[in-house]
Structure 1
Amino acid sequence: MVRVGFLVFNLAGPGGTSRSAITQANALAARGHDVQMVSVTRSADRPTYDIDPRVRTEFLVDVRDGHRTDPELHRRPSLLVPPRWDPQFSAVCDVALEERLPRLAPDVLVTVTPSLLAAAEQLVDDRVVLVHQEHRSSSDRVAGLEPLLTYGARADVVALLTESAAAWLAEQLGDAAPRLVVLPNPLPQGYVPRSRLDDPVIVTAGRLVGEKQFGHLVRAFARIAPLVPDWRLRIFGDGPQRGQLQALTRKAGLFDRVELPGTTHDLAGEWAKASVAALCSRAEGYPLVLQEAMAAGVPAVSYDCPSGPREIIDHEVNGLLVVPGSEEHLAATLLRVATDDDLRRRLGEGAVATAASWEADGLAQQWEQVFAEAVAARPKGAGRLAARVSAGSTTQGARPDVGGTDGPGDWGHATPAQARRQVLALATSVADDVTDEWFVVPGVAGAAPVVVVPLAARAAYLRALATAAPPAYLGLRDPGDHGWPERRGPVAELAQALLRAMTPRIVLEPWPTSGGSASLLGQGCAVEVQFWAEGLGGDLVAPEPNAYVTRAARGSATAKRRVEGLDLPSLPLMTLPTLAETSVEVDVVYTWVDGGDPSWAERQQQRLADWAGQSGAAASRASSGRARFESRDELRYSLRSLHLFAPWVRRVHIVTDRQVPPWLDAEHPQIHVVDHSEILPADALSTFNSHSIETALHRIPGLAEHFVYFNDDMLLGRPLGPERFFDAAGRFAVFTAQHLVGLGEPGGQPAYITAALRNRWLLQEAFGIAVTRHLVHAPYPQRVSVLAEVAERFADDVEATARAPFRSETDVSMVSSLAPFYGLMTGAAYEAALESTFIDLATTNVGLVLEQALQRRQDAVCIGDHHDYAMEMAKVDRLVADFFERYLPIAGPWER
């Protein structure tokens, strides 16, 4: 025999938690245990639910009308349980609990809400074994979360209703988690009448509040009402949304077919009159409404909401799960059950078989074992904290979430483009194996492509996916829609786990990290699979918006769409580009120099000697210092970033002065090496001024109208589409920065500010508009025609800049400032954003900044060199070389 105490808040109330506790207490008392129930408050003369006479009951605070004592204490907030945890507690509860709980002496005390757990942990004798029963879908509810996470680790055992709730709590508490067990609520004891399933009534029950979403059920019933004229909908319960539901019923013209009879004390009898049980909550724990309906042999139709329905309903065996939140799928499912007598009977038989596992005496036996093991696990005389610390984490019974975020260390050295193709090929080949009605929704503007599969083939798809042979780098993600926590796992394992669910989306994607580091494939390589439910008219209904349609007729004529190099079935509309896409050809232009080349250095020194008399500033470090021309093979890695993250680039033009990197295959068809002499006038050569070179880039032979200008120290950080740089009309993006140009006249400022001030003055004179900000130092989209127009309109300043061999006070920065702002003012460009990280190699924390950049949270990275360093240059060189190889490990096809 075990002495068991139950601590509840209101034993006399009608709540499901109190009812479950009473049922457990009655069953344990019937098995010979000493059972005591302590209720913090008493709101009625007698409990709503019958309590076995062998169970001792005690009420601490009387809140009945006419019996309330010490009203002042009732008005004061509780210090034991703060109002944000549970507003039902007051100071009078504190006083009563502080007086009574230290004197309770059961072997095991069971708490049934997180707030009661907090109170018990603070006041009950340490020698009492504390078992907490969590009755809610904890991961989806805010109220009560704090006390559970604060005090849950101090309990001896925490019991949860579902495996998903146990996995969530295990993840939240980590190594501090106590023993976690999963046990459902018992069914009330006594005779349960069984439905004959011949009365055309759909029944549901619960408090009429927003979380129950009874409006969904009314609207779904309204859709099918004309098709099943004999059927009625009956909603038991009361609450603040009663008036809203009545108005909704009247609006639908169903005042004689949707019933709101209020609460009932004989719900078991009402289930015997029902033929379908419906549940459309936003979230549940382990809904007693489904348990009681199944005990009466009534098949259940329920949203797959967190967290109980999928653990209770075995789809097509004892009920039917519905895509959460989908009123159309709910309507179609209700219609199916209402019009198929054989289906109702088959599901009803399955429901009765399932309900046998909730029999109170059988569950009481399992509780006996839990209590006995908890008592035995507590060292004699040890308090709760000492016992927990010495025991460590013992989360037996809880299944951790499937997988994690880290994949295998070897990702096969696939490029993102290769991975996208492989993943899409896998997703579509599985679809092809299970149905002939699948099609692809192309990804638009960087969105993942979507493989659409009818919901009816969902289980077959998941089973086939579980037996497929995916690449080692690939994982599966459940995106966590409708309140479910997101989770990620190995493809086979998570696909198998999702068979009991009815969530409409899964995502096949590479693991975001590999071997503990951010994966090269961790972004931009996903393929989503959506399971579209069949609506009432037979159409397939999208579970969420996409760029094209919300529904599609089954058997619609398909067309072929090329996606990631694969010709795949799609809808004709989806073969056309949208306004979110760009179809222009795009080139890339680099300006590059190797300052370590002796011939180049000799030309620079000669030019500097010739020019020094005309501009003393030419000899300054800002104009001709070594840092401006230092080469750490940045170009090699910047080109690798194009290969990996922008494979759509047509051609790469490298503008240089009689130099070709030794590692570069200049004959590669995508590479065009352009000498300064091909684009600059003879009297501008030789030049060592990037501003000068920028004035002539639009003259590159064969250059596409649309191009992106890169400095050689700029790297892409993750996959980007051409839409990030140009819109459907061909306008180019301008990435403005928060850094202000400021006040002042050209002269006596850093070269880039001097040029920005001159640019501003020219544009102000031309348009009467002030430029106030710099641009992000990142790749610059451009158009040849706009540069030509700028060169013509501001010819004197552009020509002067072209003929300045070193940075000077008369320069304009044509490509990196003047033309972009000109484009904004003339309508040829639009303002946009790009996540870019500037890494200053001169700082003391450059190693840390480089490590942070390896997390790949940015679209672009710029490696900014300097004239002075905070550490030895050799160390900076090693850090940068290591970063480049880790960040961009795959060689481009143009590397020798």
Structure 2
Amino acid sequence: MKIVYLLTWPFEMGGTERSIITQAEAMAHRHQVEIVGVISSRPEPFFPIPTAVAHRVLVRTDAEGLPSAVEGVDLPPRRLEELHAAPSRLIPGGWESAFSQLTDLAMTRWLRELDCDVLVTTTPALLAIGSELAPHRVVVVHQEHRTSERRGATLAPLMSHGPRVDAVAFLTTPSVEHFRDAWGSAAPTLIQVLNPLTPDLRPVSGHKRPLIVAAGRLTAEKRFDHLIDAFAPIAEAHPQWTLRLFGSGPQEPALRRQISRKQLTDQVEIMGPSSVMSAEWAAASIAALSSRNEGLSLVIQEAMAAGTPVVSYACPNGPAQLITHGVDGLLVENGNVGELTTALISLVRDGERRQALGEAARLRARAFAAETIAETWEGHFLDLLADVRDGETRLERVIRRTLDPPRHRPSRRDAADDVVIDTPLVPPAAPSGTTGTDTVDQPLRPSSREKILLLAGSEVAANTALLPEDARQENLRIAVEAIAVTGSPGFRLPGPGARTTIVVPDRDRRRIAEALSRAADVGGLYVAAVDQNGRASRGVLTDEAYDFWRSEPTRVRLFRRWADPQRTLLYGAELGCDLAFWHDEGDHLVGHGEGIVSEIPWEWLTERTTVTHGGVPVAELSRLSGFTSVDTVTFDIDAVYTWVDGSDPAWLTTRRSRRAEAGGRLHLEADSEARYRSRDELRYSLRSLEYHAPWVRHVFLVTAGQVPSWVAEDHPGLTIVDHRDLFQRPADLPTFNSHAIESQLHHIDGLADHFLYVNDDVFFGRPVSPDMFFTPGGLPRVFKSPTLVGFPSGEAPPHVRAALNNRALLRRDFGRTITNGMLHVAHPMRRSLLTELEERYPVEYALTAGHPFRHDEDLSVTSSLVQHYGLLTGQAVYGNIRAAYVGLGGDDIGRRLGQLLTERNFDVFSIGDFHDTGLPEEEVDDMVRSFLQAYWPFPGRYES
């Protein structure tokens, strides 16, 4: 299905623009989507448009408002200017002043050649044009993004042209009912669909900070003066509470005067617009809305998604559509300041009620998820397309629908509900010869162990504990059991990589398909075809895969889809098990290039053995058993972490004493509290290691005699190492110098020769393999940074001084100059190489180890020196890794973390503290902790 969204000003900062871009991005996962704008003077969109969504602008203007480019129109500049200055003949100026005869010409030519299935208009003026000029075969759907019944002059095109399109969508039920009554029998199909929330990271409120937040344009319509009046008694009775207003607008001077007059300057803050409102809502304990009129407010939706309870005037007409009074928020009489004060102060005084309402609000906000809304739209679009008849004009189609309205069918997902099936419901069996894919009116199958959810049109199992390796094992177990049921002589095909491939004779395909269909009662079980490059197609539920199996795919990926309750962690085909169907050619079974062999004699199948692979008993061919490719890394690899509890009073006392002994002035980098600030990063870095690098043999945690309270000290895969066990000279301790600690890591007792050194601010973002870090022969890979070391003059921070010291050492001995640093990632190390380095440079090592704080004489061993030394001595090679760095000093932290969470497309990333930040420290803490918990929600084996 191809869908085109038509906007007037596509690149502007507005609620309609943001909603359409979000909706288009979600629809682009399954359909071809394009955004077309009529006019823009911006070179780039204010809200980023994803690469999956095509977009264009018909008329572009320069900073002076003169046309600079017009799609499909080739006229001299002077003529373009004349047309642009002439009033539109299609759209009266009272409907929309942006249009001209130039936009008339551009839109007419574009609409004449429009080739799509669905055209979505977004303003009444565009509705009028679309109803008149779009090809009849195109379904035209108009979306309203305001309180439509309260429109002014723009109500006219909506009223006159609404009945001429296939469907009109409103945000609220009252709007639907209003226009159903207004249009009567002429009404087109009327739809009510919520606006989607952007798929950004949504930090969650802790409900403890004494802060009320409101947001919106500072206009008379929003009545922030009411909110300030309502807050005044709260400020007097509870002086620790603050009210923050986010936004700008013409009412700002008057509001500031009101704040001053009421002597609230210390407790009411006008913050200006914020680009990270998700973080602002999470920082608050209460959200407030005091508008005179309000549509389906994104402000309310965003606050609820952060788990922040909303107190709102019950104004027409959106708040009551979103808030259930007393359940997930509070509604008060519209315009009643006294009631607004009473409602706010009731939550100020009752923390438990704030939390209960906030948690209910967050559950309610699941209905606002972009994928959820997209699936609802998909259902409506498909229903409308199914009613298109050849040769019928749009007006004839609308009239036919009016005379013979279709039977109401429930949409594939009600946007207001979260589909969770707990009861033992079983759908009717699909008739023989059908595809079994039309399950619109059928309940989901239950699992014997997990609840089954419907997420973005896909059936998924609710995951409350499984780590990726657990899910991989489950997929393999289901495949092995299905093969065993059929009696097929399947066997594991050895090969590199984590995914298991099982070969099955093609003659057993039908029986295996039937077995997998019966296995579908576990829920969320899919099969997908795999191409020659190992890429899987979109999965099909195993009990709905009739057409899928008829196509006779040669390689199939079997997998369950899992989602955690918050829908931030999804498992799917990437953890699946492959079934390769090999065909019979005389006395041989012949494959399609899936592994180490492409054919085997049938007689080999009589010599099978059972081995445990990935925790599951699997059949192997004796002739291939024990096979290991030369591309496989077979040696043990450990991980080493360095960590300190910077909040430990005893450690702080020792640090202050050592600092006094050191004397002199330390660089901010060496003396900053940010170096020791903890947001539980270690816990989540260890989780990321277990989720995405389960092949690590053992973890060594190097500390200053401290142990995190949550660590499972008795776990056989974890060893706590004290600094005293590393440093050769007791006088070097205590130390607060990471350069010194890192120079001693090779002294860890029991450490494997090959290991990864991981700072606790480094995280594994997706599955990684050992050969990303080491060659099969054991050489560590090094990851060059584009950042230049340079030739700084004057005072340089300690980490730069250390890089310069590294450079001087290697230049002296090898005549080669370091130009670039290394990426801040998990560093592959060889213990033997570090030992060799210390033996070669004992004086420099001793100096580094002896500095209790970072010093200008330090070496940076693990982050630069050993890598360059390895390259120069033939003991290391360059590698490739996709890495990201998020510094916590900017004001776009929420956006950056949100991208990481939704895209999950980096092998490794780091989150680095800054000495100064653009946001309050508590808010940064909330964002980082929420992000980490959302990325890796389940505890790992290293946690008690």
TM-score (norm 1): 0.55
* Structure-2 separation of matches of 1:597 and 1:854: 31
Match of 1:646 in 2: 693
Pair 1:463 & 2:525 matched: no
* Structure-2 separation of matches of 1:690 and 1:788: 18
Alpha-carbon displacement from aligned partner over 1:460-499 (angstroms, at most 9, x marks no partner): 21121111146445433234679999322323223x3312
Match of 2:504 in 1: 453
Pair 1:734 & 2:782 matched: yes
Match of 1:634 in 2: 681
Match of 2:917 in 1: 869
SS in 1 for 2:697: coil
Amino acid at match of 2:619: P
Alpha-carbon displacement from aligned partner over 1:655-692 (angstroms, at most 9, x marks no partner): 11121111223232222111111111212111111000
Alpha-carbon displacement from aligned partner over 1:137-175 (angstroms, at most 9, x marks no partner): xxxxxxxxxxxxx9795289xxxxxxxxxxxxxxxxx99
**Residue 688 of structure 1: which of 718, 733, 736 is its match?**
736
Q: Is the 8 A contact 2:461 2:560 kept in 1?
A: no
**Residue 439 of structure 1: which of 491, 501, 515 is its match?**
491
* Structure-2 separation of matches of 1:668 and 1:485: 37
Pair 1:418 & 2:470 matched: yes
Amino acid at match of 1:608: R
Alpha-carbon displacement from aligned partner over 1:746-800 (angstroms, at most 9, x marks no partner): x622332222222122222222333322211111111110000011112221211
Q: Is the 8 A contact 2:436 2:543 kept in 1?
A: no
Q: Is the 8 A contact 2:675 2:913 kept in 1?
A: yes
Amino acid at match of 2:743: T
SS in 1 for 2:462: coil
- Change in Cα spacing, 1:816 to 1:175, as seen in structure 2 (3 Å) is farther
* Structure-2 separation of matches of 1:412 and 1:844: 33
**Residue 590 of structure 1: which of 628, 641, 651 is its match?**
641
Q: Is the 8 A contact 1:737 1:775 kept in 2?
A: yes
Amino acid at match of 1:413: A
SS in 2 for 1:468: helix
Q: Is the 8 A contact 1:415 1:521 kept in 2?
A: no
State the 1:516 CA deviation.
8.2
State the 1:599 CA deviation.
0.9
* Structure-2 separation of matches of 1:873 and 1:719: 31
- Change in Cα spacing, 1:122 to 1:649, as seen in structure 2 (3 Å) is closer
* Structure-1 separation of matches of 2:925 and 2:715: 29
Q: Between Structure 1 and Structure 2, whose CA radius of gyration is higher?
A: 1
**Residue 826 of structure 2: which of 779, 799, 805 is its match?**
779
621-630 or 795-804: bigger deviation: 795-804
* Structure-1 separation of matches of 2:717 and 2:535: 47
Matches within 5 A, 1:251-270: none
Pair 1:669 & 2:669 matched: no
**Residue 773 of structure 2: which of 711, 725, 743 is its match?**
725
- Change in Cα spacing, 1:539 to 1:398, as seen in structure 2 (3 Å) is closer
SS in 2 for 1:532: strand
SS in 1 for 2:683: helix
Alpha-carbon displacement from aligned partner over 1:94-129 (angstroms, at most 9, x marks no partner): xxxxxxxxxxxxxxxxxxxxxxxx9999599xxxxx
SS in 1 for 2:603: coil
Alpha-carbon displacement from aligned partner over 1:550-582 (angstroms, at most 9, x marks no partner): 222223133445421223222333522212211
- Change in Cα spacing, 1:371 to 1:712, as seen in structure 2 (3 Å) is closer
Q: Is the 8 A contact 2:492 2:500 kept in 1?
A: yes
- Change in Cα spacing, 1:547 to 1:811, as seen in structure 2 (3 Å) is farther
* Structure-2 separation of matches of 1:435 and 1:863: 51
**Residue 429 of structure 1: which of 474, 481, 484 is its match?**
481
Match of 2:571 in 1: 521
* Structure-2 separation of matches of 1:743 and 1:437: 66
Match of 1:285 in 2: none
Q: Is the 8 A contact 2:568 2:934 kept in 1?
A: no
Q: Is the 8 A contact 1:408 1:515 kept in 2?
A: no
Matches within 5 A, 1:330-369: none
Unaligned runs of at least 5 residues, structure 2: 1-70, 73-107, 118-133, 141-165, 169-188, 190-385, 413-433, 440-453
- Change in Cα spacing, 1:152 to 1:517, as seen in structure 2 (3 Å) is farther
- Change in Cα spacing, 1:521 to 1:372, as seen in structure 2 (3 Å) is closer
**Residue 557 of structure 2: which of 503, 507, 515 is its match?**
507
Match of 1:257 in 2: none
Q: Is the 8 A contact 2:463 2:563 kept in 1?
A: no
Match of 1:836 in 2: 883
Alpha-carbon displacement from aligned partner over 1:415-470 (angstroms, at most 9, x marks no partner): 11111111101112212222432111245134x21111112222221121111146
- Change in Cα spacing, 1:679 to 1:425, as seen in structure 2 (3 Å) is same
Pair 1:857 & 2:920 matched: no
Match of 2:588 in 1: 539
Amino acid at match of 1:653: F
Match of 2:210 in 1: none
SS in 2 for 1:477: strand
* Structure-2 separation of matches of 1:483 and 1:442: 16
* Structure-2 separation of matches of 1:565 and 1:625: 47
What RMSD over aligned residues (CA atoms) do the two structures have, in Å?
Answer: 4.4
Unaligned runs of at least 5 residues, structure 1: 1-78, 81-117, 125-129, 133-149, 157-173, 180-369
Q: Is the 8 A contact 1:513 1:522 kept in 2?
A: no
Q: Is the 8 A contact 2:695 2:770 kept in 1?
A: yes
* Structure-2 separation of matches of 1:768 and 1:523: 50
Q: Is the 8 A contact 2:488 2:508 kept in 1?
A: no
721-730 or 809-818: bigger deviation: 721-730
- Change in Cα spacing, 1:441 to 1:878, as seen in structure 2 (3 Å) is same
Q: Is the 8 A contact 1:406 1:514 kept in 2?
A: no
- Change in Cα spacing, 1:771 to 1:555, as seen in structure 2 (3 Å) is farther
Amino acid at match of 1:719: P
* Structure-2 separation of matches of 1:376 and 1:622: 73
* Structure-2 separation of matches of 1:766 and 1:793: 11
State the 1:524 CA deviation.
4.5
- Change in Cα spacing, 1:699 to 1:482, as seen in structure 2 (3 Å) is closer
* Structure-2 separation of matches of 1:398 and 1:510: 20
Amino acid at match of 1:803: G
Alpha-carbon displacement from aligned partner over 1:293-333 (angstroms, at most 9, x marks no partner): xxxxxxxxxxxxxxxxxxxxxxxxxxxxxxxxxxxxxxxxx
Amino acid at match of 1:421: Q
SS in 1 for 2:571: coil
SS in 1 for 2:575: coil
Q: Is the 8 A contact 2:116 2:138 kept in 1?
A: no
SS in 2 for 1:731: coil
Alpha-carbon displacement from aligned partner over 1:347-399 (angstroms, at most 9, x marks no partner): xxxxxxxxxxxxxxxxxxxxxxx999656785459899x99xx9999999999
Q: Is the 8 A contact 1:707 1:783 kept in 2?
A: yes
**Residue 612 of structure 1: which of 663, 679, 684 is its match?**
663
Amino acid at match of 2:929: A
Matches within 5 A, 1:370-385: 379-380=395-396
Matches within 5 A, 1:548-567: 548-556=596-604, 557-567=607-617
- Change in Cα spacing, 1:472 to 1:794, as seen in structure 2 (3 Å) is farther
Q: Is the 8 A contact 1:734 1:829 kept in 2?
A: yes
* Structure-2 separation of matches of 1:823 and 1:817: 10
Q: Is the 8 A contact 1:439 1:569 kept in 2?
A: yes
Match of 1:477 in 2: 528
